[in-house]
Amino acid sequence: MLSRVAESMYWMSRYIERAENVARFVDVNLQLILDQPIGMQAQWEPLVATTGDDEEFEERYGEASRESVIKFLAFDTENPNSIISCLRAARENARSVRENISSEMWEQLNDAYLMVTETPEEWALTEPHQFFTDIKAASHLFTGLTDNIMSHSEGWHFCQLGRLIERADKTSRIVDVKYFILLPSVSDVNTPFDDIQWGALLHSASAFEMYRRTHGLISPNNVVAFLLLDREFPRSVLYCLSKAEESLHAISGTPLETFSNSAEQGLGQLRSEFAYAQVDQVLHSGLHEFLDAFQTKLNDVGDDIYKTFFALRPVDGESSQSQSQMQ
Amino acid sequence: MARFDGYNTDGFYDEMFFPDGSARPAVQMLVERIANFPNGELIRRQITAEYALLRMGITFNVYADEQGVEKIFPFDLIPRIIDATEWEWIERGLKQRIQALNLFIDDVYHEQKIIKDGVVPAEVVLSSGRYLEQCIGLDPPRGIWCHITGTDLVRDSDGQIYVLEDNLGCPSGVSYVVENRQLMKRTFPQLFGMSQIEPVEDYPSRLLDMLQYLVSDSVMSPEVALLTPGIYNSAYFEHSFLAQQMGVALVEGRDLVVMDGYVHMRTTKGFERVDVIYRRINDDFLDPKVFNPESLLGVPGLMEVYKSGRIALINAPGTCVADDKVVCAYVPQIIKYYLDEDIIVPNVPTYMCWEDDDRKYVLEHIDELVVKEANQSGGYGMLIGPHATRAEHEDFAERIKANPRNYIAQPTLALSRVPVLIEGHFEGRHVDLRPFILYGEDIYVLPGGLTRVALKKGSLVVNSSQGGGSKDTWVLSGTR
């Protein structure tokens, strides 16, 4: 597979996953606000913080409100991580590899993009739940098509890799931001209000019902354990890392538990760290520090994937060129 | 015939109707069928079809258009129909033409017999901007230069069909032929049941066959790649469509590298050899070491590999010399010279501005003629005399005087028209026809081709970059 094509597949699915995650946690926050006691300040800043674009937001919008946050996260074409920007980037990448994906995948993604560009912002503000549900559904449909129509060969594994790394990153950010906000009130554990907040964190990763089946009552430790360390829940960080590692090894042909490049080494180390972590120890030594270090290492893995598979390798007499499609 | 009530041929040759308003024999069934559609049905289907095009992303990019970038290529539901007898004649004419042009190209890069025998003046060939000295003495695989041609045909008011130009460079539009047909089948399934229409869907497999034919027999499983300038090229959709349908790699210049005397693709597993390149970039940009040194689209060293016979390039570099509009004017003589036959489908009469008598005539009649730059295409660099202003006439007259070799002129043909659905009723619009010809083991002409429609009222410019649209083109099966 061409390096350029592999890179586009990887980013195509990363951007779709990113759009879906933004849609999900904005939606959850909207629901959450409906349950808040009257007089309680709505929590809009944390949403922007989760995407890591809080500085840019503050500079351009100032105060975080329902309107400004939805606008920034969904429709702002100048925000590279807004839903519309993600879908556009996904579509541009798909366009450059159209011959490698099925027509159905392309049409589905094109549809999703057209849907967002044709949606009036006022409608999304009055019917936000429907709008964000549509975005999530579009992403699920695309992922379903990828799984069921595309051969599970190299290209598919690059799609997997992109999606899972993006998901691991986003889940960790949601946990990081929410935990940071809820931490001061940890003494309030088990009050109904707190229960709702922690439930919302689970909802942000579509994890609420699966959590209930596994752990029953909500406790902060179990929520963190479920979202970071669960081995079976497909949005937990450990699950994403394990599956990403499998795809990485399927691409290179190197057996698991060994490595032939820095990406495999880095991802393997990261996965082991999570596989053998214990939630009480993580919380005791500082969740934020733990997640911060994780995000740095995950970024390094992304860089190593780029260097190993995508970078234009120089040949004799040719100077090294490098171009990244990361935007 | 309620639907066509009020439709007027306005004195033009109409592809569907006689001047008295009665339908031509080949389209009678279609016209009856359309007449029986309930009110609003056609518009509904037209809107559905256009939305399908947008959804499928069947779009082209407009260079001059800063913001839109992607547009759908407008599509009109009413097919253009060509009867079997006329098509048989066109097909014979195109095969003859391509065969002769191939011999001509081979000759001008080798012995130049046609020049020595005084049939085509040396200046005409050698002064052409498209004659590439770098290609002298080259022998392309299987002796074929012009593998893919998209010849433009037009019909004048008396019904005569002429060749307007050959497009031997990178003719585009064939993807629309295939997609238009699929769209028509979805939109009007019942029409297909009642007509015998020559299929066009096998074009990609015929193309792949031809591409693989060019590889020497010693290569077991040839690797074919389609070279595109990238997603911002106006024909990018077509490039990806053809690559997808043929199942070959779609590459950009930066994906390719010359190493150890071969062309390779950069893959996730290292370098992989390529044997055939269907290139959709012009000669100038192919190899910065040989042609335009500024080119970022091409592959440094590509021509060296080509000369050694280790890569096939489609079309062969240098082919475009026969695309020069001045050279084109000599095609009747070229056919006579190589094949000893008379031209079957004639050229549009052409005045060559570098000949004194012709130039005098052109300058005196510039308001009646179509003037074209010899090396331009896509509807750029041309003047349509009757539709232009006085200032434009003067501007072109100056340009002709400054560089006569670079201009030709042709009478303004009253291009034939077809009915087009405009805001719920039918209006006549001018059309041309671009059949596609593949030259491999034998010569194949895709039945029909791309019918391009000038959607602007009264306009004669059918190019997609200038507001043209397209129609599905049906060649009815004969008894052959």
Contact between A95 and A65 (Cβ < 8 Å): no
Neighbours of B378 (CB within 10 A): 14
- Residue B203 has a pLDDT of 97
Tell whether the model's pLDDT for residue B365 goes beyond 50: yes
CA B373 – CA B159 distance, rounded (Å): 27
- Residue B62 has a pLDDT of 59
**Across chain B, what does the average pLDDT equal?**
89
Q: Concatenated DSSP letters for A119-188?
A: S-HHHHHHSHHHHHHHHHHHHHHHHHHHHHHS-SSHHHHHHHHHHHHHHHHHHHHHHHHHHHHHGGGGGG
What's the mean pLDDT in B135-160?
95
- Residue B442 has a pLDDT of 94
Contact between A46 and A178 (Cβ < 8 Å): yes
Q: Which residues pair with B372 in a beta bridge?
A: B382, B408
What's the mean pLDDT in B274-278?
97
Last-in-domain residue among B377, B411, B445: B411
Q: B271 at the A interface (CB within 8 A)?
A: yes
Bridging pattern class, strands B75-82 and B468-475: parallel
Please name the residue of chain A whose CA is at the shortest distance from the CA of residue B265: A2
Whether residues B66 and B27 fall in one domain: yes
CA angle A246, A251, A255 (to 5 degrees): 55
CA B361 – CA B183 distance, rounded (Å): 47
Contact between B430 and B27 (Cβ < 8 Å): no
Q: Do A96 and B243 touch (CB under 8 A)?
A: no
Among candidate residues B442, B440, B203, B166, the one with its CA nearest the CA of residue B312: B440
What's the mean pLDDT in A77-87?
93
Confidence band, pLDDT 50/70/90 cuts, at residue B178: very high
Last-in-domain residue among B371, B396, B411: B411
Q: How many Cα atoms are found within 13 Å in the side-chain-facing hemisphere of B255? A: 26
Place of tokens 């991802």: A267
Q: B240 at the A interface (CB within 8 A)?
A: yes
> How far does CA B215 lie from the centroid of its chain?
25
Over the stretch A250-261, which tens digit does the pLDDT of each residue have?
A: 999 999 999 999
Tell whether the model's pLDDT for residue A188 goes beyond 60: no
Among candidate residues B348, B342, B311, the one with its CA nearest the CA of residue B329: B348
Residues of chain B contacting A154 with CB distance shorter than 8 Å: 268
Over the stretch A273-326, which tens digit does the pLDDT of each residue have?
A: 999 999 999 988 889 899 999 999 999 999 999 999 998 665 544 433 333 333
Burial class (CB in 10 A: 0-12, 13-18, 19+), B193: exposed
Tell me the helices (H) and strands (E) count for chain A, helix number first.
16, 0
- Residue A187 has a pLDDT of 55
Q: Residue B251 domain-assigned?
A: no
Q: B69 at the A interface (CB within 8 A)?
A: no
Q: What is the dihedral of CA A213, A219, A224, A229, to 10 degrees?
A: -40
CA B328 – CA B166 distance, rounded (Å): 8
Q: Residue B41 domain-assigned?
A: yes
Tell whether the model's pLDDT for residue B354 goes beyond 90: no
Last-in-domain residue among B377, B396, B411: B411
Contact between A155 and A101 (Cβ < 8 Å): yes
**Pick from B231, B236, B266: CB nearest A2:** B266
- Residue B1 has a pLDDT of 40
Whether residues B404 and B419 fall in one domain: no
Residue % of chain A over a pLDDT of 70: 90
Place of tokens 């043929």: B246
Neighbours of B39 (CB within 10 A): 10
Q: B56 at the A interface (CB within 8 A)?
A: yes
Contact between B476 and B195 (Cβ < 8 Å): yes
Over the stretch A141-185, which tens digit does the pLDDT of each residue have?
A: 999 999 999 999 999 999 999 999 999 999 999 888 877 777 655
Whether residues B338 and B427 fall in one domain: yes
Handedness of CA A164, A166, A169, A170 (dihedral sign): negative
Q: Do B57 and A2 touch (CB under 8 A)?
A: no
Q: B230 at the A interface (CB within 8 A)?
A: yes
Q: Which residues of B458-472 are buried (b: 16+ CB within 10 A; e: fewer)?
A: ebbbbebbbbbbbbb
Q: Which residues of B194-222 are buried (b: 16+ CB within 10 A; e: fewer)?
A: ebebbebeebbeebbebbbbbbeeeeeeb
Cis peptide before B315 (omega within 30 of 0): yes
Q: Do A106 and B230 touch (CB under 8 A)?
A: no
**Pick from B55, B231, B251: CB nearest A111:** B55
- Nearest Cα of chain A lies from the Cα of B61 at a distance, in angstroms, of 13
Q: Residue B253 domain-assigned?
A: no
Whether residues B392 and B477 fall in one domain: no
Neighbours of A293 (CB within 10 A): 13
Instruction: Out of A275-284, B116-125, B189-198, B313-322, pick the least confident.
Output: B189-198
Whether residues B21 and B53 fall in one domain: yes
Find which of A96, A99, A154 to mutate to test the B interface (most B CBs within 10 Å of its CB).
Answer: A99
- CATH code assigned at B378: 3.30.1490.270
- Residue B378 has a pLDDT of 57
* Domain hosting residue B332, numbered range: 1-132+140-199+323-347+415-480
- Nearest Cα of chain B lies from the Cα of A76 at a distance, in angstroms, of 17
Over the stretch A9-65, which tens digit does the pLDDT of each residue have?
A: 999 999 999 999 999 988 888 877 777 666 566 678 878 888 888 888 989 998 888
Residues of chain A contacting B55 with CB distance shorter than 8 Å: 107, 110-111, 114
What's the mean pLDDT in A77-92?
93
- Residue A40 has a pLDDT of 62
DSSP-derived secondary structure letter, B24 = P
Residues of chain A contacting B268 with CB distance shorter than 8 Å: 1-3, 6, 154, 251, 309-310
Neighbours of B436 (CB within 10 A): 26
CA B41 – CA B47 distance, rounded (Å): 10
Q: How many Cα atoms are found within 13 Å in the side-chain-facing hemisphere of A80? A: 6
CA A166 – CA B71 distance, rounded (Å): 32
Determine if the pTM surpasses 0.80.
yes
Residues of chain B contacting A100 with CB distance shorter than 8 Å: 244, 250
Domain count, chain B: 2
What's the mean pLDDT in B36-50?
86
Q: B51 at the A interface (CB within 8 A)?
A: no
CA A205 – CA A66 distance, rounded (Å): 21
Angstrom CA distances, B194 to B33, B171, B454, stand at: 10, 32, 29
Please name the residue of chain B whose CA is at the shortest distance from the CA of residue A110: B55
Whether residues B64 and B128 fall in one domain: yes
Q: Do A315 and B259 touch (CB under 8 A)?
A: yes
Q: Residue B82 domain-assigned?
A: yes
Among candidate residues B280, B279, B285, the one with its CA nearest the CA of residue B234: B280
